Amino acid sequence: MAEVLVFHHGHGLTVGIRGFTEQLRRAGHTVHVPDLFEGQIFDSLQNGMSYVEDVGFGTIIARGTAATEGLPAELVYLGFSLGVLPAQKLAQTRPGAKGALLLEACLPVAEFGGAWPAAIPVQVHGMDADPFFAGEGDVDAARALVETAADAELFLYPGNRHLFIDSSLPSHDEHAATQTTDRVLDFLDRIK
């Protein structure tokens, strides 16, 4: 079973994120879920991102990095949207990473030092018409990652919803979320 460090999206550590992580735990995985927003949950993505802009993206990434203190090196890093920032950074730069799951966001690998580490499998999931994922270049970064990484997969789902996996948000898409969860669980089951 895998040990997973999960980073939430721009609404905060919502009930939907907690529910998703419980599914991973029920499948036998060890899951850590730090709160990058220090207890705050925002009713809109706009309000959450205003908070992030106030504290700084660097602070959010630093909080994610600090969450690894006391944890083993052999982690799978999973990020939802904003949470992809610390997840991808740690997967690319912290020695010992076992895998990365980038949900609804992906940055160019050059953001964190160049090529994707050869030994680290990665999956990227997003909707093909999501204005953030498809419209802001994340899907292009994901395609480039898949072309260059040794073990990488990109899953595109039809639709224009952002944060479709979180069951507590109006943007939730049950079908796409179920497919994503099944693929994430399959990925984690392959981690040794």
- Domains parsed from the chain with CATH numbers: 3-190 (3.40.50.1820)
Which ranges of the chain would DSSP assign to H, the alpha helix?
15-26, 45-55, 57-66, 84-93, 138-148, 174-190
- Scan for tokens 């220090």, then name that residue: 38
Cα–Cα distance between 63 and 57 in angstroms, integer?
Answer: 10
User: How buried is residue 131: exposed, middle or buried, by Cβ count under 10 Å (0-12/13-18/19+)?
Assistant: exposed
The pLDDT of residue 192 is above 90: no
- Cross-strand bridge partners of residue 125: 103, 155
**Segment 35-57 mean pLDDT:** 96
- Cross-strand bridge partners of residue 189: none
For 135-166, what is each residue's pLDDT tens digit?
999 999 999 999 999 999 999 999 999 999 99
Please give the model's pTM, rounded to 2 decimal places. Answer: 0.97
Cα–Cα distance between 119 and 22 in angstroms, integer?
Answer: 27
Is-contact 2 72, C-beta < 8 A? no
The pLDDT of residue 41 is above 90: yes
Predicted local confidence at residue 28, as pLDDT? 97
The pLDDT of residue 132 is above 90: yes
Predicted local confidence at residue 59, as pLDDT? 96
For 16-34, what is each residue's pLDDT tens digit?
999 999 999 999 999 999 9
Predicted local confidence at residue 19, as pLDDT? 98
Predicted local confidence at residue 113, as pLDDT? 85
Percent share of the chain, pLDDT over 90: 96
pLDDT band at 115 (very low <50, low <70, confident <90, very high): confident
